[in-house]
Protein backbone atom coordinates (compact mmCIF):
# COMPACT_ATOMS: atom_id res chain seq x y z
CA UNK A 1 0.00 0.00 0.00
CA UNK A 2 2.76 2.41 0.97
CA UNK A 3 4.15 2.61 -2.54
CA UNK A 4 0.88 4.25 -3.64
CA UNK A 5 0.91 7.10 -1.11
CA UNK A 6 1.46 10.32 -3.02
CA UNK A 7 2.43 8.41 -6.16
CA UNK A 8 0.68 7.91 -9.47
CA UNK A 9 1.23 4.27 -10.26
CA UNK A 10 0.33 3.10 -13.76
CA UNK A 11 -1.87 -0.01 -13.75
CA UNK A 12 -3.87 -1.73 -16.47
CA UNK A 13 -7.66 -1.79 -16.16
CA UNK A 14 -7.53 -5.49 -15.30
CA UNK A 15 -5.13 -4.89 -12.40
CA UNK A 16 -7.24 -2.00 -11.14
CA UNK A 17 -10.28 -4.28 -10.82
CA UNK A 18 -8.35 -6.36 -8.32
CA UNK A 19 -7.93 -3.36 -6.02
CA UNK A 20 -10.85 -3.24 -3.69
CA UNK A 21 -9.94 -0.66 -1.12
CA UNK A 22 -11.70 2.68 -0.82
CA UNK A 23 -8.39 4.44 -0.16
CA UNK A 24 -7.30 4.16 -3.77
CA UNK A 25 -7.87 7.17 -5.96
CA UNK A 26 -8.11 5.94 -9.54
CA UNK A 27 -8.03 8.16 -12.63
CA UNK A 28 -7.96 7.38 -16.34
CA UNK A 29 -4.42 7.93 -17.65
CA UNK A 30 -5.78 10.05 -20.47
CA UNK A 31 -8.79 12.22 -21.01
CA UNK A 32 -10.15 12.05 -24.52
CA UNK A 33 -11.99 15.01 -25.94
CA UNK A 34 -11.06 17.02 -29.02
CA UNK A 35 -7.47 16.23 -28.14
CA UNK A 36 -6.05 13.54 -25.94
CA UNK A 37 -4.63 14.90 -22.68
CA UNK A 38 -2.11 12.83 -20.79
CA UNK A 39 -2.88 13.00 -17.08
CA UNK A 40 0.64 12.01 -16.11
CA UNK A 41 2.57 14.70 -17.95
CA UNK A 42 -0.15 17.19 -18.94
CA UNK A 43 0.62 17.05 -22.67
CA UNK A 44 -2.11 17.70 -25.21
CA UNK A 45 -1.77 15.24 -28.04
CA UNK A 46 -3.24 15.20 -31.56
CA UNK A 47 -5.49 12.13 -31.90
CA UNK A 48 -4.35 11.01 -35.34
CA UNK A 49 -0.68 10.81 -34.42
CA UNK A 50 -1.22 9.04 -31.11
CA UNK A 51 -3.70 6.34 -32.04
CA UNK A 52 -2.46 2.76 -31.87
CA UNK A 53 -3.73 0.06 -34.29
CA UNK A 54 -5.84 -1.26 -31.39
CA UNK A 55 -7.71 2.07 -31.24
CA UNK A 56 -6.11 3.03 -27.92
CA UNK A 57 -4.13 6.23 -27.57
CA UNK A 58 -0.62 6.58 -26.19
CA UNK A 59 1.52 9.46 -24.92
CA UNK A 60 4.75 10.07 -26.80
CA UNK A 61 5.95 12.85 -24.48
CA UNK A 62 6.41 10.91 -21.24
CA UNK A 63 7.35 7.63 -22.92
CA UNK A 64 10.67 7.50 -21.08
CA UNK A 65 8.77 7.01 -17.81
CA UNK A 66 7.14 3.86 -19.22
CA UNK A 67 4.46 3.36 -21.86
CA UNK A 68 1.09 4.88 -21.03
CA UNK A 69 -2.12 4.25 -23.00
CA UNK A 70 -5.71 5.38 -22.72
CA UNK A 71 -6.55 1.94 -21.31
CA UNK A 72 -4.30 2.50 -18.29
CA UNK A 73 -5.23 3.98 -14.95
CA UNK A 74 -3.22 6.17 -12.60
CA UNK A 75 -3.59 4.89 -9.07
CA UNK A 76 -2.76 6.94 -5.97
CA UNK A 77 -3.42 7.12 -2.28
CA UNK A 78 -3.67 10.72 -1.15
CA UNK A 79 -2.55 11.42 2.37
CA UNK A 80 -5.06 13.44 4.34
CA UNK A 81 -3.61 16.34 6.36
CA UNK A 82 -5.64 15.01 9.34
CA UNK A 83 -3.60 11.82 9.34
CA UNK A 84 -0.36 13.77 9.89
CA UNK A 85 0.68 13.80 13.49
CA UNK A 86 3.28 16.15 14.99
CA UNK A 87 6.49 14.33 15.80
CA UNK A 88 9.90 15.06 17.19
CA UNK A 89 12.37 15.86 14.44
CA UNK A 90 15.97 16.59 15.31
CA UNK A 91 17.91 19.14 13.30
CA UNK A 92 21.46 17.91 13.75
CA UNK A 93 23.17 20.63 11.73
CA UNK A 94 25.86 22.21 13.89
CA UNK A 95 26.51 25.42 11.96
CA UNK A 96 24.86 28.77 12.40
CA UNK A 97 23.27 31.28 10.06
CA UNK A 98 24.50 34.85 9.68
CA UNK A 99 22.19 37.55 11.04
CA UNK A 100 20.92 38.35 7.55
CA UNK A 101 20.43 34.69 6.65
CA UNK A 102 18.49 34.23 9.89
CA UNK A 103 16.29 37.27 9.21
CA UNK A 104 15.42 35.98 5.74
CA UNK A 105 14.87 32.43 6.97
CA UNK A 106 12.46 33.79 9.60
CA UNK A 107 10.56 35.60 6.88
CA UNK A 108 10.41 32.43 4.78
CA UNK A 109 9.06 30.55 7.80
CA UNK A 110 6.41 33.21 8.35
CA UNK A 111 5.32 32.98 4.71
CA UNK A 112 5.22 29.21 4.95
CA UNK A 113 3.02 29.38 8.04
CA UNK A 114 0.79 31.97 6.39
CA UNK A 115 0.29 29.66 3.42
CA UNK A 116 2.30 31.73 0.96
CA UNK A 117 4.81 30.49 -1.61
CA UNK A 118 8.27 32.11 -1.74
CA UNK A 119 11.15 32.81 -4.07
CA UNK A 120 14.56 33.08 -2.46
CA UNK A 121 16.82 35.08 -4.76
CA UNK A 122 20.21 34.50 -3.15
CA UNK A 123 23.51 35.31 -4.84
CA UNK A 124 25.98 32.53 -5.66
CA UNK A 125 27.93 31.46 -2.60
CA UNK A 126 25.44 32.88 -0.13
CA UNK A 127 24.89 29.59 1.71
CA UNK A 128 21.24 29.17 0.78
CA UNK A 129 21.19 25.41 1.39
CA UNK A 130 21.67 25.87 5.13
CA UNK A 131 18.80 28.35 5.16
CA UNK A 132 16.31 25.70 4.09
CA UNK A 133 17.05 23.40 7.03
CA UNK A 134 14.70 25.21 9.47
CA UNK A 135 11.98 25.25 6.79
CA UNK A 136 12.27 21.51 6.22
CA UNK A 137 12.33 20.99 9.97
CA UNK A 138 9.12 22.94 10.57
CA UNK A 139 7.14 20.89 8.03
CA UNK A 140 8.55 17.53 9.11
CA UNK A 141 7.82 18.33 12.77
CA UNK A 142 4.15 18.86 11.90
CA UNK A 143 4.11 15.40 10.39
CA UNK A 144 4.33 16.71 6.82
CA UNK A 145 6.22 15.45 3.83
CA UNK A 146 8.99 17.44 2.13
CA UNK A 147 10.69 17.22 -1.24
CA UNK A 148 13.85 19.06 -2.24
CA UNK A 149 14.13 18.94 -6.00
CA UNK A 150 16.40 20.32 -8.71
CA UNK A 151 16.57 20.02 -12.48
CA UNK A 152 20.23 19.02 -12.14
CA UNK A 153 21.41 15.58 -10.99
CA UNK A 154 24.69 17.08 -9.70
CA UNK A 155 22.77 19.45 -7.45
CA UNK A 156 20.67 16.56 -6.05
CA UNK A 157 23.79 14.50 -5.45
CA UNK A 158 25.42 17.36 -3.62
CA UNK A 159 22.33 18.06 -1.52
CA UNK A 160 21.95 14.45 -0.40
CA UNK A 161 24.91 14.18 2.05
CA UNK A 162 24.22 17.66 3.36
CA UNK A 163 20.58 16.90 4.17
CA UNK A 164 21.50 13.51 5.57
CA UNK A 165 23.91 15.06 8.04
CA UNK A 166 21.48 17.87 8.89
CA UNK A 167 18.78 15.33 9.78
CA UNK A 168 20.74 12.23 10.82
CA UNK A 169 17.75 10.51 12.38
CA UNK A 170 15.64 10.84 9.23
CA UNK A 171 15.87 8.41 6.34
CA UNK A 172 16.39 10.52 3.25
CA UNK A 173 15.43 9.13 -0.15
CA UNK A 174 17.45 10.19 -3.20
CA UNK A 175 15.83 9.63 -6.60
CA UNK A 176 17.15 10.41 -10.05
CA UNK A 177 17.32 8.71 -13.44
CA UNK A 178 20.63 6.96 -12.65
CA UNK A 179 19.99 6.19 -8.99
CA UNK A 180 20.15 2.61 -7.81
CA UNK A 181 17.83 3.24 -4.91
CA UNK A 182 14.28 2.14 -5.67
CA UNK A 183 11.29 4.08 -4.48
CA UNK A 184 9.93 3.77 -0.97
CA UNK A 185 7.81 6.11 1.14
CA UNK A 186 9.91 8.66 3.01
CA UNK A 187 9.06 11.92 4.74
CA UNK A 188 12.09 13.61 3.20
CA UNK A 189 12.85 13.06 -0.48
CA UNK A 190 15.49 14.56 -2.77
CA UNK A 191 14.87 14.07 -6.47
CA UNK A 192 15.33 15.56 -9.91
CA UNK A 193 12.38 17.48 -11.31
CA UNK A 194 11.87 14.59 -13.77
CA UNK A 195 11.13 12.21 -10.90
CA UNK A 196 8.24 14.42 -9.76
CA UNK A 197 6.23 13.01 -12.68
CA UNK A 198 5.73 9.85 -10.58
CA UNK A 199 4.18 11.77 -7.66
CA UNK A 200 0.62 12.95 -7.13
CA UNK A 201 -0.47 15.36 -4.39
CA UNK A 202 2.36 14.07 -2.25
CA UNK A 203 4.28 16.91 -0.65
CA UNK A 204 3.37 19.60 1.86
CA UNK A 205 6.48 21.51 0.86
CA UNK A 206 8.51 21.35 -2.33
CA UNK A 207 11.76 23.32 -2.45
CA UNK A 208 13.06 23.73 -5.99
CA UNK A 209 16.78 24.45 -6.05
CA UNK A 210 18.19 26.10 -9.20
CA UNK A 211 14.69 26.56 -10.62
CA UNK A 212 16.07 28.40 -13.66
CA UNK A 213 18.42 25.57 -14.68
CA UNK A 214 18.14 23.39 -17.76
CA UNK A 215 16.10 21.20 -18.36
CA UNK A 216 13.31 22.59 -16.09
CA UNK A 217 13.51 26.07 -17.58
CA UNK A 218 11.03 26.21 -20.45
CA UNK A 219 9.85 22.59 -20.08
CA UNK A 220 6.05 22.42 -19.74
CA UNK A 221 6.02 18.77 -18.71
CA UNK A 222 8.33 19.39 -15.75
CA UNK A 223 6.31 22.41 -14.65
CA UNK A 224 3.16 20.28 -14.74
CA UNK A 225 4.94 17.53 -12.79
CA UNK A 226 5.88 19.98 -10.06
CA UNK A 227 2.32 21.23 -9.61
CA UNK A 228 0.93 17.68 -9.62
CA UNK A 229 3.40 16.50 -6.98
CA UNK A 230 2.36 19.23 -4.58
CA UNK A 231 -0.38 18.50 -2.05
CA UNK A 232 -3.48 20.68 -2.61
CA UNK A 233 -2.56 22.74 0.45
CA UNK A 234 1.17 22.37 -0.14
CA UNK A 235 3.65 25.24 -0.51
CA UNK A 236 6.45 25.97 -2.95
CA UNK A 237 9.81 27.60 -2.33
CA UNK A 238 11.95 28.42 -5.34
CA UNK A 239 15.69 28.96 -4.89
CA UNK A 240 17.92 30.63 -7.43
CA UNK A 241 20.80 33.05 -7.82
CA UNK A 242 19.59 34.04 -11.26
CA UNK A 243 15.81 34.23 -11.69
CA UNK A 244 14.92 34.99 -15.30
CA UNK A 245 12.66 38.01 -15.84
CA UNK A 246 9.70 35.84 -16.90
CA UNK A 247 9.91 33.91 -13.62
CA UNK A 248 9.92 37.11 -11.56
CA UNK A 249 6.89 38.35 -13.51
CA UNK A 250 5.11 35.03 -13.07
CA UNK A 251 5.48 34.93 -9.30
CA UNK A 252 5.63 38.56 -8.15
CA UNK A 253 1.90 38.89 -7.50
CA UNK A 254 1.55 35.73 -5.43
CA UNK A 255 4.95 34.75 -4.03
CA UNK A 256 6.95 36.45 -1.31
CA UNK A 257 10.27 37.41 -2.93
CA UNK A 258 13.25 37.48 -0.57
CA UNK A 259 16.60 38.78 -1.76
CA UNK A 260 19.91 37.77 -0.21
CA UNK A 261 22.61 39.87 -1.90
CA UNK A 262 25.45 39.05 0.51
CA UNK A 263 27.81 36.10 0.06
CA UNK A 264 28.50 33.95 3.08
CA UNK A 265 32.01 35.39 3.52
CA UNK A 266 30.59 38.92 3.02
CA UNK A 267 32.95 39.81 0.15
CA UNK A 268 31.29 41.22 -2.99
CA UNK A 269 30.67 39.22 -6.15
CA UNK A 270 33.52 39.44 -8.65
CA UNK A 271 32.58 41.79 -11.49
CA UNK A 272 33.50 40.37 -14.93
CA UNK A 273 36.23 42.08 -16.96
CA UNK A 274 35.30 42.20 -20.63
CA UNK A 275 38.18 41.74 -23.11
CA UNK A 276 37.72 42.27 -26.83
CA UNK A 277 39.03 39.22 -28.73
CA UNK A 278 38.69 39.59 -32.47
CA UNK A 279 39.00 35.97 -33.59
CA UNK A 280 38.25 33.95 -30.48
CA UNK A 281 36.23 31.48 -32.61
CA UNK A 282 39.32 30.35 -34.50
CA UNK A 283 42.11 31.32 -32.11
CA UNK A 284 43.24 27.69 -31.72
CA UNK A 285 44.20 27.58 -35.42
CA UNK A 286 47.21 29.88 -35.20
CA UNK A 287 49.67 30.53 -32.35
CA UNK A 288 49.53 34.25 -33.14
CA UNK A 289 45.77 34.24 -32.44
CA UNK A 290 46.33 32.36 -29.18
CA UNK A 291 48.65 35.04 -27.78
CA UNK A 292 46.02 37.05 -25.96
CA UNK A 293 44.41 33.97 -24.44
CA UNK A 294 47.74 32.51 -23.30
CA UNK A 295 48.96 35.80 -21.86
CA UNK A 296 45.90 36.27 -19.68
CA UNK A 297 45.68 32.58 -18.80
CA UNK A 298 49.28 32.68 -17.49
CA UNK A 299 48.45 35.85 -15.57
CA UNK A 300 45.47 34.16 -13.87
CA UNK A 301 47.49 31.01 -13.11
CA UNK A 302 49.88 33.01 -10.95
CA UNK A 303 47.16 33.31 -8.30
CA UNK A 304 44.64 30.57 -9.01
CA UNK A 305 43.64 27.55 -11.09
CA UNK A 306 41.50 28.39 -14.11
CA UNK A 307 38.19 27.16 -15.48
CA UNK A 308 37.81 27.93 -19.19
CA UNK A 309 34.15 27.88 -20.28
CA UNK A 310 33.60 27.11 -23.97
CA UNK A 311 30.45 27.50 -26.06
CA UNK A 312 30.65 24.12 -27.87
CA UNK A 313 32.29 20.73 -27.49
CA UNK A 314 34.20 20.84 -30.78
CA UNK A 315 35.58 24.26 -29.91
CA UNK A 316 36.50 23.11 -26.42
CA UNK A 317 38.41 20.09 -27.76
CA UNK A 318 40.29 22.17 -30.31
CA UNK A 319 41.23 24.89 -27.82
CA UNK A 320 42.22 22.36 -25.17
CA UNK A 321 44.49 20.55 -27.66
CA UNK A 322 46.07 23.80 -28.83
CA UNK A 323 46.64 25.02 -25.26
CA UNK A 324 48.22 21.68 -24.23
CA UNK A 325 51.19 22.50 -26.47
CA UNK A 326 52.13 25.36 -24.16
CA UNK A 327 51.79 23.65 -20.75
CA UNK A 328 52.68 20.37 -19.08
CA UNK A 329 50.07 17.89 -20.35
CA UNK A 330 49.14 16.54 -16.93
CA UNK A 331 47.82 19.85 -15.59
CA UNK A 332 45.21 20.32 -18.33
CA UNK A 333 41.97 18.50 -19.04
CA UNK A 334 38.44 19.07 -20.32
CA UNK A 335 35.01 17.97 -19.18
CA UNK A 336 31.47 17.92 -20.55
CA UNK A 337 28.04 16.47 -19.70
CA UNK A 338 28.49 13.08 -21.37
CA UNK A 339 32.05 12.60 -20.14
CA UNK A 340 32.27 9.26 -18.33
CA UNK A 341 35.08 10.56 -16.12
CA UNK A 342 33.29 13.78 -15.25
CA UNK A 343 33.07 13.12 -11.52
CA UNK A 344 36.73 12.05 -11.26
CA UNK A 345 37.96 15.03 -13.25
CA UNK A 346 36.00 17.51 -11.14
CA UNK A 347 37.34 15.84 -8.01
CA UNK A 348 40.93 16.02 -9.30
CA UNK A 349 40.47 19.69 -10.12
CA UNK A 350 39.27 20.22 -6.55
CA UNK A 351 42.36 18.41 -5.28
CA UNK A 352 44.53 20.75 -7.39
CA UNK A 353 45.86 17.91 -9.56
CA UNK A 354 44.78 19.88 -12.62
CA UNK A 355 45.42 23.58 -13.00
CA UNK A 356 43.41 24.29 -16.15
CA UNK A 357 39.98 22.77 -16.75
CA UNK A 358 38.21 23.39 -20.05
CA UNK A 359 34.48 22.92 -19.64
CA UNK A 360 31.12 23.24 -21.33
CA UNK A 361 28.36 25.08 -19.43
CA UNK A 362 27.88 21.90 -17.36
CA UNK A 363 30.00 23.40 -14.57
CA UNK A 364 28.20 26.74 -14.60
CA UNK A 365 26.40 25.93 -11.35
CA UNK A 366 26.17 23.49 -8.47
CA UNK A 367 29.94 23.06 -8.06
CA UNK A 368 32.39 24.78 -5.77
CA UNK A 369 36.14 25.00 -6.31
CA UNK A 370 38.50 26.86 -4.05
CA UNK A 371 41.00 29.28 -5.57
CA UNK A 372 39.81 29.50 -9.17
CA UNK A 373 39.50 32.20 -11.78
CA UNK A 374 37.33 31.79 -14.85
CA UNK A 375 37.60 32.66 -18.51
CA UNK A 376 34.54 32.62 -20.76
CA UNK A 377 35.59 32.10 -24.37
CA UNK A 378 33.10 33.84 -26.65
CA UNK A 379 30.93 35.31 -23.91
CA UNK A 380 28.81 36.78 -26.72
CA UNK A 381 27.82 33.28 -27.93
CA UNK A 382 24.07 32.54 -27.65
CA UNK A 383 24.71 29.63 -25.28
CA UNK A 384 25.79 32.10 -22.61
CA UNK A 385 22.53 33.59 -21.35
CA UNK A 386 22.53 36.26 -18.65
CA UNK A 387 21.85 33.58 -16.04
CA UNK A 388 24.68 31.39 -17.33
CA UNK A 389 27.15 34.30 -17.20
CA UNK A 390 26.13 35.32 -13.66
CA UNK A 391 26.40 31.70 -12.52
CA UNK A 392 29.82 31.26 -14.17
CA UNK A 393 31.12 34.48 -12.58
CA UNK A 394 29.77 33.11 -9.30
CA UNK A 395 32.24 30.20 -9.38
CA UNK A 396 35.00 32.62 -8.33
CA UNK A 397 35.85 33.49 -4.73
CA UNK A 398 33.12 31.31 -3.24
CA UNK A 399 35.04 29.82 -0.38
CA UNK A 400 38.19 30.20 1.70
CA UNK A 401 40.41 33.29 1.89
CA UNK A 402 40.52 35.88 -0.86
CA UNK A 403 43.03 35.01 -3.62
CA UNK A 404 42.48 37.62 -6.30
CA UNK A 405 40.10 35.43 -8.29
CA UNK A 406 39.09 37.06 -11.57
CA UNK A 407 36.35 36.64 -14.17
CA UNK A 408 37.29 37.33 -17.79
CA UNK A 409 34.79 37.50 -20.66
CA UNK A 410 36.41 37.24 -24.11
CA UNK A 411 34.05 38.53 -26.79
CA UNK A 412 33.84 40.09 -30.22
CA UNK A 413 30.32 41.45 -29.99
CA UNK A 414 28.66 43.08 -27.01
CA UNK A 415 25.44 41.24 -26.19
CA UNK A 416 22.48 42.11 -23.98
CA UNK A 417 23.18 39.01 -21.89
CA UNK A 418 26.72 40.23 -21.13
CA UNK A 419 25.54 43.74 -20.27
CA UNK A 420 22.71 42.46 -18.08
CA UNK A 421 24.95 39.97 -16.28
CA UNK A 422 27.43 42.68 -15.40
CA UNK A 423 24.65 45.07 -14.37
CA UNK A 424 22.95 42.47 -12.15
CA UNK A 425 26.23 41.60 -10.40
CA UNK A 426 26.93 45.27 -9.71
CA UNK A 427 23.36 45.86 -8.48
CA UNK A 428 23.59 42.93 -6.08
CA UNK A 429 26.92 44.24 -4.77
CA UNK A 430 25.36 47.68 -4.23
CA UNK A 431 22.41 46.10 -2.42
CA UNK A 432 24.80 44.00 -0.31
CA UNK A 433 26.64 47.15 0.72
CA UNK A 434 23.37 48.83 1.68
CA UNK A 435 22.18 45.83 3.68
CA UNK A 436 25.61 45.53 5.29
CA UNK A 437 25.53 49.20 6.32
CA UNK A 438 22.17 48.97 8.06
Nearest distance in Å: CB 204, Zn ion: 26
Strands, E assignment, 49-138 = 73-76, 118-122
- 391-420: contacts with Zn ion (CB under 5 A): none
Q: If 0-12 CB within 10 Å is exposed, 13-18 middle and 19+ buried, where does residue 401 land?
A: exposed
Would you say 137 and 187 are in contact if contact means Cβ atoms under 8 Å apart? no
Q: Which helix (H) or strand (E) holds 300?
A: helix 287-301
Nearest distance in Å: CB 69, Zn ion: 10
Nearest distance in Å: CB 40, Zn ion: 5
Nearest distance in Å: CB 203, Zn ion: 21
**192 or 242: whose CB is closer to Zn ion?**
192
Would you say 242 and 403 are in contact if contact means Cβ atoms under 8 Å apart? no
Contact stretch for Zn ion (CB under 5 A) within 30-38, 72-80, 144-152, 394-402: 30-38
**135 or 196: whose CB is closer to Zn ion?**
196
Cβ neighbours around 200 below 10 Å, total: 26
Would you say 191 and 147 are in contact if contact means Cβ atoms under 8 Å apart? yes
**Using the rule CB under 5 A, which residue among 25, 27, 35, 61 binds Zn ion?**
61
Size of the site for Zn ion (CB under 5 A): 7
Cβ neighbours around 69 below 10 Å, total: 16
**69 or 98: whose CB is closer to Zn ion?**
69
**29 or 131: whose CB is closer to Zn ion?**
29
Q: 256-260 and 305-309 as β-strands: parallel, antiparallel, unpaired?
A: unpaired
- The yes or no reply on residue 318 touching Zn ion (CB under 5 A) is no
- The yes or no reply on residue 300 touching Zn ion (CB under 5 A) is no
Contact pattern from residue 115 through residue 134 relative to Zn ion, giving x for each residue in contact according to CB under 5 A and a dash for the rest: --------------------
Q: Point out which residues pair with 329 in neighbouring strands.
A: none
**59 or 123: whose CB is closer to Zn ion?**
59
Q: Point out which residues pair with 51 in neighbouring strands.
A: 57
**42 or 268: whose CB is closer to Zn ion?**
42
Nearest distance in Å: CB 65, Zn ion: 8
Nearest distance in Å: CB 70, Zn ion: 11
**Using the rule CB under 5 A, which residue among 5, 10, 59, 307 binds Zn ion?**
59
Would you say 229 and 70 are in contact if contact means Cβ atoms under 8 Å apart? no
**Using the rule CB under 5 A, which residue among 5, 41, 290, 297 binds Zn ion?**
41
Please tell me the distance from the alpha carbon of residue 314 to that of residue 310, in angstroms, as a whole number. 9
Nearest distance in Å: CB 104, Zn ion: 38
Nearest distance in Å: CB 75, Zn ion: 16
- The yes or no reply on residue 38 touching Zn ion (CB under 5 A) is yes
Nearest distance in Å: CB 126, Zn ion: 37
User: Is 95 strand, coil or helix?
Assistant: coil
Contact pattern from residue 231 through residue 260 relative to Zn ion, giving x for each residue in contact according to CB under 5 A and a dash for the rest: ------------------------------
**38 or 205: whose CB is closer to Zn ion?**
38
Q: 36-38 and 30-32 as β-strands: parallel, antiparallel, unpaired?
A: antiparallel
Cβ within 8 Å of residue 122, ≥6 positions away: 128, 131, 239, 240, 241, 259, 260
Q: If 0-12 CB within 10 Å is exposed, 13-18 middle and 19+ buried, where does residue 46 land?
A: exposed
**27 or 164: whose CB is closer to Zn ion?**
27
Residue 218 falls in which region: left (phi positive, over 0), alpha (psi -120 to 50) or beta? left
Would you say 190 and 172 are in contact if contact means Cβ atoms under 8 Å apart? yes
**Using the rule CB under 5 A, which residue among 10, 36, 62, 229 binds Zn ion?**
62
Contact stretch for Zn ion (CB under 5 A) within 35-43, 49-57, 85-93, 186-194: 35-43
C-alpha angle with apex 277: 307 to 301, nearest 5 degrees?
A: 30
Residue ranges binding Zn ion (CB under 5 A) = 38, 40-41, 43, 59, 61-62
Amino acid sequence: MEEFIGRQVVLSQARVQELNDPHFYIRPAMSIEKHVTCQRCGSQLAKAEHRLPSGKYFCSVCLKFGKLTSDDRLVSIIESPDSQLPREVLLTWQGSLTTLQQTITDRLLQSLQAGRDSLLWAVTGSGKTEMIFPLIHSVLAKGGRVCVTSPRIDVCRELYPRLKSAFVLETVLLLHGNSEESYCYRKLTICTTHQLLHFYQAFDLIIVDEIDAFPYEGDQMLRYGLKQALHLNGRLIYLTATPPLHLIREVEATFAIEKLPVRFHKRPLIVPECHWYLRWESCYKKPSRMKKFLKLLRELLQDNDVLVFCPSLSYMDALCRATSRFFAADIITSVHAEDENRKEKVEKMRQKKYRILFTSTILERGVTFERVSVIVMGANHAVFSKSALVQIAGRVDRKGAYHHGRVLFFYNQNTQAMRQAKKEIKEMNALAKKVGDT
